[in-house]
Structure 1
């Protein structure tokens, strides 16, 4: 914030009885003196306005800042591709090294906020396998019990890991499904890894970014 200051310029020189004559014009007349006072009052008014603007700025509500939830998913094997169990090292990094693995993690998300993106950080190695592949997705499913169970609604999906090696995926969230409603939906993160032999995949961290609902 810029410095706000006011420096008066008017200096009154006292009149002397029976020496100074009262006059309108001239360097010692009323016009010059009153115009100087008016100029000082104008500067003072500007300074007061600047002070008010500065006070209003300090009282203004700052714009909402994005929030982030960071975690390593606790993946549970599920489905036909649950040929192995995700393991975790001392740093909490999730590892998959079976031929075909899929795991699901139930997430507790803040109700009423809006998801904007999913970031997944990890590593994928081919080893002696001819090919490896992986998929990471965030989805929601209705809480109500219906038969048959409805298919999960994808919010963010990525299988674009590029070449093998470290990856840092930035996955946008589908805008129509971005608003978190925990009264209607539960939210799950799914990771799938497939290889021929001796390939592996690890997930170091998942970052979910939220914004205000508006």
Structure 2
């Protein structure tokens, strides 16, 4: 809290009967004394305003803190690609050649997404390259013909092998507001390799904040 203080400047000097004369001007006149009192009152008013502001600030709720939703995605195959598998620890894994999966997400309505963090590893053998990608997208719930194209919220399609990765992917601001009444939300992951390789996803973290 700011240091708030008030020190009056007016000091009254007593008049003496039959010695002091009543006068308007001069160092002992009414005008000078009343102006000094008025100046003190203006200063006091400023201090009272500062006190009120300090009280309001102390009573204000703390700013909302970002929330983090963490999970290991349950990735489902959408066609002829290989399936993602799961270790006993819950880590999602892909091996072989082309592997693609989609996980439906249940998100808290009304919050805003700010970023997606994906932690995992990717590897290849010495005979060929491998790579992977992840994305967060939404699909309108309305039924249209042809079906609506998913709208990408965050994407990284360039995860190279080899080694561990820790991706921090920003969410497109214009699509950040979660609206579960209008959209379905999905997380996707893909892995491809010329020869055998592997990719694993240990965790996905979504950072959310209250709407601005």
Q: TM-score, normalised by structure 1?
A: 0.77
The answer as to whether partners of 2:132 and 2:160 remain within 8 angstroms in 1 is: no
Q: How far off its partner does 1:75 sit?
A: 2.2
Q: Structure 1: where are the runs of 5+ without partners? A: none
RMSD of aligned C-alpha atoms? 3.2
Aligned to 1:7: 7
Return 5+ residue gaps in structure 2 as ranges: none
Aligned length: 212
Aligned to 1:168: 166
TM-superposed CA distance for 1:132, in Å, is 1.0
TM-score (norm 2): 0.78
- Structure 2 counterpart of 1:88: 87
User: Could you report, residue by residue, the CA deviation over 1:157-202 in whole angstroms, capped at 9, with x for unpaired residues?
Assistant: 3211245222232334345544433223321111111234552212
Query: Does the aligned pair in 2 maintain the 1:139–1:187 contact within 8 Å?
Result: yes
Distance 1:45 1:140 in 2: 55
SS at match of 2:34: helix
Distance 1:148 1:28 in 2: 92
Instruction: Tell me if structure 2 keeps the 8 A contact 1:103–1:190.
Output: yes
Which of 138, 141, 149 pairs up with 1:140?
138
Q: CA deviation at 1:57?
A: 4.5
User: Secondary structure of 1:15's partner?
Assistant: coil
Aligned to 2:69: 69
SS at match of 1:171: strand
Distance 1:148 1:37 in 2: 80
